[in-house]
Structure 1
Amino acid sequence: MIKKIFLIFIVLFTVRTFGQDSAYSGDPDASYFAARDLAFAGNRASARDTLKRILTKYPNYTDVRSLLAKTYSWDEEYDSARLEFNRITSIERGNAEVWIGAIKNELYAKNYNIAVGLTNKALTYLP
């Protein structure tokens, strides 16, 4: 009985300790540029992993979230891209690059009415 309890304790401790992702502690700019290079080289899944880790500590890093959204769009994951673009445009409305990315995502997804609506919305926020 004691051996079973001890074994359960060891298993739970191991799962708890090693099962958790460690908090991001790197240089977000260097990691962003590395992820960007990965994405442009076609290794978008690895790039997304890096970008998501950066966002755990820096959730408002617009360039990181925008690149994450673009990689989703490039891989035809339009709904995921839309969520990321919407998170940015709902806070940072004056970023033309993000609006363009969001509009292109809808064009790629063949959601032409949504693309026109986003264009009109962007024009109200952009000079």
Structure 2
Amino acid sequence: MAIQIEGRPKLQRSKDAGGGSGYFGPARKWLEGLGPYQSLAAVAVPTAIIEPFKLAAVAICGSGHWFTGVLVIIAAYATGFLLVERLFSVVKPKLLQLHWFAVIWNLFTRCRRKALAMFRSIATLA
């Protein structure tokens, strides 16, 4: 059973913008060659490593070391955004081959789109 995936149209990338050549080209090609469950692991493992650092940052802040705690949380969020988001964008087509993931992704994008429309309509009233 095929599921139609909702989303924005894909943008064409130039080779200079990371489309397959350059320093990260071989890693991107390797990631694109993974299967769906291997792609899931490629995203889940870095996420599982990064997320505890966010909790540790809260504990560090709670022990009175505000500056160190803020640095840790900034580093954790930056790493999560720069690494995991990039990994997800590369392996997303493979993940969408998993029926359960495609259903959840469709639900998420539909809810996100409805929430944005609601906020935009509220903003125009104000």
Q: Name the larger-Rg structure.
A: 1
User: Normalising by structure 1, what TM-score?
Assistant: 0.31
